[in-house]
Amino acid sequence: MRLDRGEVGGTGLALLLHAGLIAALTMSLAGVPPKPEPPAMEVEFVDSPEVALTAGAPTPLAPSPAQATAPAEPAEPTVPQPAPAPPPPIPSPAPRIEPTPAPRPTPAPRAAPPQPRPTPTPPRSTARPLDSLRLPPAPRASRLGDDFLQGIGDAPSRAPAQSAATFSAEAKASVDSAIKRQIQPCANRQPALGSGAERIRVVLNLRLDRSGRLSRPPTVVRTSGVDDDNDRYEQPVIDQAIAVYRACSPLRLPAELYSTPQGGWGNINMTYRVP
Amino acid sequence: MSAAAAPSDLMSPLALFLHADAVVKIVMIGLLLASVWTWGIIITHALRLRRLNRASDSFERDFAAAKDLDAFHASRGADPVPHARIVSAGLDEWRRSVRVKAADRSGARERLSTVMNAEVAGELDRLGDRLNILATVGSVAPFVGLFGTVWGIMRSFTAIAGANNTSLAVVAPGIAEALFATAIGLFAAIPAVIAYNRLTHGLDRLEARLGRFADRFHATLSRELELEG
């Protein structure tokens, strides 16, 4: 098979065109991330935001600014604390309510407006004697109450709690990802449930001993995402979640995070989702 | 496997090639070479057919206008056109036939016709030399690519069995690489089939044209033969 000059030229040209095509495909296709790949790679089944180290934390975790929804119950204990403080400066909440510059209101009309405000009544009743003494300076033009600094007073007291919370958030994240990584093989071995089961989230409470073993079977804290379509999968998903954590039970986790003042992985809530 | 590869370069041809199995790699290289060779043939033959058709146009025009056949042959007989070779073969045979006295005219006509038809057939053989490669690539390349794909999918299923893991992330890259072999096979085969049909059609037309020219020239020579006698 001998080549004449025309064939050498034609084959060389063809070679160049192929090289150019491959180069162009490599450049352009490598630059654009292919659309179908990310869904194919998604195998995570544990939600990290809901993981919380709830165990015997003496002081409830102060909410970080990002999670404003959860901390309903931590807020309650902190509110009563500032309450005793206000009585001394509180004397003149009244001028804020009735801005008319009536210089010397009788105690009776002043007592009437505060009644609709339920919470501050006990402190104000204690401050009433002072109140009557200090009222003369009240008729100034400003509508700011004397207690406008009240909120500022407890802001610094909350700041240290926040820094502690961020530390425990990092620890939580590392513990969370370590647990996720270690139970993933067990979760992948579970049989697939029907469609709709993947919307169910099961929050399990795990009690672990220091060796990473479950000290008692996981208990269900709550389930979410159950609707009419997938309610028949609720129990299978719960069983599967418990089975996954039992199968991969000796979890290897950092020992120094077993129990900290903010909680630890000795008592931890994890959210499970069907892979 | 390519589980460690970033998803962004998963689709680039080079990455697909590099992650593939050895057998699949060989199949891909073979198919790529077949594609290069196919396109080389396509380019060469398309250009050559175009050039021949153009040269034939001008040669036929000049031949029809020529007064003296011997002078025309002396000036244009060496042109790189099939017509020129047909003219040379016919004239050579005619000269040899008229050199002897008492020529056998019907025998000379037979020989002229045979010689010129042989020249036409020889030209077409030369021109259609590589077209069989196009036909072969067009019919076989898809099967070769399919072989690579089947092999690659077999391998990735074996890998799934070994990994105890059926998630799509484990399965998908191997199958994508395997399918790339079929893609290259089709990439080589489709132009080959189209070009084969197109070039065969062009050669058929050239053959008919050469045959008509040889017949006309044969008529001219046999008329000369009669005048000669």
* Residue A263 falls inside a structural domain: yes
Among candidate residues A107, A275, A102, A136, the one with its CA nearest the CA of residue A197: A275
Both A62 and A174 in one domain: the answer is yes
CA of B120 vs chain A CAs: smallest distance (Å): 21
- The answer to whether residue A177 sits within a structural domain is yes
Q: What is the pLDDT of residue A126?
A: 46
Chain A interface test: which of B43, B133, B177 (most A C-beta within 10 Å): B43
Q: Is residue B172 within 8 angstroms of chain A, CB to CB?
A: yes
Give the residue ranges of DSSP H helices in chain A. Answer: 5-31, 37-41, 72-78, 94-97, 107-111, 121-134, 150-188, 234-247
Residue A103 is part of which domain span?
94-144
pLDDT for A162-217, tens place per residue?
Answer: 444 445 677 777 888 888 888 888 888 888 877 778 788 888 888 888 888 888 88
As a whole-number percent, the residues of chain A with pLDDT over 90 amount to 3
Contacts of A10 in chain B (CB under 8 A): 39-45, 47
| Residue A106 and residue A211 share a domain | no
pLDDT over 90 at A13, yes or no = yes
Same domain (yes/no): A174, A239: yes
pLDDT at position A84 over 60: no
Cβ–Cβ of A26/B43 closer than 8 Å?
A: no
In total, the C-beta contacts within 8 angstroms joining chain A to chain B are 82
Q: Are residues A229 and A202 in the same domain?
A: yes
Q: Are B196 and B138 in contact (CB under 8 A)?
A: yes
ipTM of the complex: 0.76
Boundary-marking domain end, from A102, A127, A144:
A144
| B102 phi/psi in degrees, rounded to 5 | 55, 55
Task: Look at B169 and A207; give whichever has higher pLDDT.
Answer: A207
Per-residue pLDDT, A270: 82
User: How far is the alpha carbon of A191 from chain B, nearest alpha carbon, in Å?
Assistant: 11
Q: What is the pLDDT of residues B109-165, one digit of tens each?
A: 888 899 999 999 998 998 888 899 999 999 999 999 999 999 999 888 888 887 776
Residue A228 is encoded by which pair of tokens?
A: 């009419």
Look at residue A51 and tell me whether its pLDDT is greater than 60.
Answer: no
Asked whether residue A211 is assigned to any structural domain, the reply reads yes
Q: Where are the alpha helices (DSSP H) in A135-253?
A: 150-188, 234-247
Question: Which range is least confidently modeled, A128-132, A236-240, B30-34?
Answer: A128-132
pLDDT at position B51, please? 92
Q: Is residue A13, in this structure, part of any structural domain at all? A: no
The verdict on A65 and A189 lying in the same domain is yes
Q: Which residues pair with A206 in a beta bridge?
A: A268
- The pLDDT of residue B114 is 92
Is A9 in the B-facing interface, judged by CB distances under 8 Å?
yes
Q: Which of B8, B41, B43 sits opposite A33 (nearest CB)?
A: B8
Q: Closest Cα of chain B to A43: distance in Å? A: 8
Position A160 scores a pLDDT of: 43
Taking an 8 Å cut-off on Cβ atoms, the answer to whether B36 and A29 are in contact is no
Contacts of B43 in chain A (CB under 8 A): 9-11, 13-14
Give the mean pLDDT of A2-8. Answer: 78
Q: Quick one: A173 and A64 in the same domain?
A: yes
Contact partners, residue A7, CB within 8 Å, separation at least 6? B40, B41, B44, B130
- Using a CB-CB distance cutoff of 8 angstroms, which residues of chain B are in contact with residue A37? 7, 10, 172
At residue B182, does pLDDT exceed 80? yes
Q: What pLDDT was estimated at residue B197? A: 95
Higher pLDDT, A64 or A233: A233
In a domain, A262, yes or no: yes
* B36: nearest Cα among B108, B137, B114: B137
Residues 6+ apart with CB under 8 A from A114: A93, A94, A97, A120, A121, A124
pLDDT at position A199 is: 81
Closest chain A residue by Cα to residue B176: A37
Rg (CA), chain A: 32
Query: In the predicted model, is pLDDT for residue A37 greater than 50?
Result: no
Closest to A101 in 3D by CA, of A140, A60, A131, A57: A140
Residue A8, pLDDT > 80, answer yes
In a domain, A104, yes or no: yes
- Both A242 and A115 in one domain: the answer is no
What's the total number of domains in chain A? 2
Please tell me whether residues A71 and A173 are part of one structural domain: yes
Is residue A268 located within the same domain as residue A205? yes
Give the separation between CA B190 and CA B186, rounded to whole angstroms: 6
Q: Give the mean pLDDT of A61-89.
A: 47
Instruction: Tell me whether A192 touches chain B (CB under 8 Å).
Output: no
> Mean pLDDT: which of A101-110, A207-216, B6-15, B138-147 is highest?
B138-147
pLDDT tier at B77 (50, 70, 90 boundaries)?
confident
> The tokens of A146 are what?
């004397």
Are the beta carbons of B37 and A11 closer than 8 angstroms? yes
Best of B44, B48, B160 to substitute, by most chain A Cβ atoms within 10 angstroms, is: B44
Is residue B11 less than 8 Å (CB to CB) from chain A?
yes
Chain B: residue whose CA lies nearest to A5: B44
A180 and A266 within one domain: yes
Q: Are residues A122 and A50 in the same domain?
A: no
The answer on pLDDT for A158 being more than 70 is no
Residue A70 lies in a domain: yes
Residue A173 and residue A134 in one domain? no
- Nearest-CA residue of chain A relative to B163? A185
